[in-house]
Amino acid sequence: MSYSSVREQVYLWSRPMVLIVFAHASCASAPARHFAAVKTEIAVRVDGRGYIPESAIWGAQIWTSSIFKPLGIKVIWNDERRPGAPGYPQVIAVTVVPFAPVGKSPEALASASLSKATITIFNDRVASAMQSSTKFAPALLSHVLAHEIAHVLQAVSRHSESGILKACWSREDFLLMQQHRLNFTPLDVELIRVGIGALAADQAAVE
């Protein structure tokens, strides 16, 4: 996901006439609601550390839940999953840090550790964009969360050519976010389910 694209989107957002050009853009990713539901749960704990307002985090959590719901995945925020509930067995920990690490790609808004099931959001990369518009803030943060959570669930380092797991979002993608029309691709969904199932099976074997 491109930081420079976020900056360009913020700039364009103040020009409604320019944005009309992109209003009819289509997304190549298939709507998640077309997939058969699989009832499962994932637990995610978010620590904004005061860098991101709680109201923004709360709004993003609601939006992120709506992204995963059509896939049959219920997100449990800041709490543990029900004992014995089907789903990803680990708690995914999300932390916001003030600055991106030295050497991190200038396009990265966040990163995920697949082995540790942790996500780090870089406040310096997302703050200016989130502050530009009260409507854009939850859209951006929720899709950053969904993007990184999907990485953890898939347990595979990969990106898609379109949709939420696209490596660098375009201006059209940012518009689709705000319209609730940026989705996971069919392959994204399949790998999410495979990843959840594999880790759950490994956990059950250990127990």
| Domain count of the fold of the chain | 1
51 near 207, Cβ under 8 Å?
no
Domain-located, residue 207: no
User: pLDDT of 27-77, one tens digit each?
Assistant: 345 454 455 455 899 999 999 999 998 988 999 999 999 999 999 999 999
**Single pTM value for the model:** 0.82
Boundaries of domain holding 115: 3-202
107 three-class SS: coil
**Closest by alpha carbon to 90, among 6, 5, 152, 177?**
152
Domain-located, residue 53: yes
Point out the residues of the chain with pLDDT beneath 50.
3-5, 7-28, 30, 32-33, 36
Domain-located, residue 188: yes
Domain-located, residue 42: yes
Angle (nearest 5°) at CA 116 between 113 and 118? 60
CA distance 43 to 90: 7
Domain-located, residue 196: yes
Domain-located, residue 183: yes
* One-letter amino acid for residue 70 of the chain: P
CATH number of the domain enclosing 21? 3.40.390.10
Structure tokens at 144: 């950053």
